[in-house]
Amino acid sequence: MKRLSGVVFNSTILFVCAATLQMTLHELGHFVAAILVHAKNVTLHHNFVSTDLFAMSTSRAVFYSGAGPLVSLLIGICFHLVCYRQKKRGLAFLFKLYMAVFGYIGFLGYLAIAPLFTYGDTGYIFQALHFPTWLTIVIAIMGALVLYLIISKLMRFFVEMGTGSIIADKKSRRTFMRALICYPLYIGILVTTFLNLPVPSVLSLIYPIFSPFALMWAYDSAIAKPYPTDNMSIDINGINRIQPVWLIILFLIIVLNRFLVYGINVN
């Protein structure tokens, strides 16, 4: 099998694009919700929205806090459906797949950490609604379980990025999946963690470092399970070839990210 340095590079680019864009849209959900509830001095940043949460009524604060995770859930579902219906496997498909992954993580991941971070989106909501500790823990466990099941379902799409000959041979498949998932994960985490700086809280740093590892929960199934690709249209050369358009998209996303560090304020 030919060298897969292009696969590593392209997948890393798309990982960073999707993770950063999803984070921005998540925060945009909070931002729009804050405007809708007439919050004062609302500022959209790259990884948080600043406003006086405690000046809101409980119902408005819950709506504001839940808007970000709900936007992420919507992203996950929409891109999952797109991936399910699409037969062509190329870089555009891989970007949509990463958007689905990070969308689900942006919702279910927040459910999973709710007992640990009461100042986070879901943690605050459960505390504001006076959920008992046991219920918050049950919801967190269910969130983690559902995330695992969804990642397991999405993993077949990653496998389908390879040709039939790659997937049929276990050694070739392992090499390909490392190039497509593992190495981009490690590199992408470093880049997205940097793009989260500066952070308003520890959670804002923990999230980009640890949440992407949800991809590895079902990694073994990507190596072991048989996945037929007869009905797929796979552009393996395109996947392994540098395509400048994605570098331009990444550049624009990073520019937006750095611009939002200074904030967009609505009084």
Distance between CA atoms of 218 and 214, rounded to whole angstroms?
8
Q: To 5 degrees, how large is the angle CA 145–CA 79–CA 118? A: 45
**Mean pLDDT of the chain, nearest integer:** 91
Mean pLDDT of the 7-21 span: 97
- Long-range contacts, 161-170 (Cβ 8 Å, 24+): 161/89, 161/93, 161/94, 161/234, 161/239, 162/229, 162/234, 162/236, 163/229, 163/234, 163/236, 164/229, 164/230, 166/1, 166/236, 167/227, 167/229, 170/223
pLDDT, tens digit, for every residue of 131-190?
999 999 999 999 999 999 999 999 999 988 887 778 878 888 889 999 999 999 999 999
Which one is predicted more confidently, 110 or 201?
110
Query: Is residue 31 predicted with pLDDT exceeding 90?
Result: yes
The full length of the chain comes to: 267
Tell me how far the alpha carbon of residue 107 is from its chain's centroid.
Answer: 9
Mean pLDDT of the 112-133 span: 93
Distance between CA atoms of 70 and 27, rounded to whole angstroms?
11
Domain hosting 250: range is 5-266
Strands 88-89 and 233-234, by their bridges, are parallel
| Range with the poorest average pLDDT among 60-69, 196-205, 249-258 | 196-205
Q: Classify residue 27 as exposed, middle or buried by CB count within 10 Å of its CB (0-12, 13-18, 19+).
A: buried
**Predicted confidence band of residue 11 (pLDDT cuts 50, 70, 90):** very high
Task: Give the percent of the chain with pLDDT over 90.
Answer: 72
Name the domain count of the chain.
Answer: 1
Query: Is residue 207 predicted with pLDDT exceeding 60?
Result: yes
Mean pLDDT of the 43-62 span: 93
Query: Is residue 120 predicted with pLDDT exceeding 90?
Result: no
- Structure confidence at residue 233 (pLDDT): 66
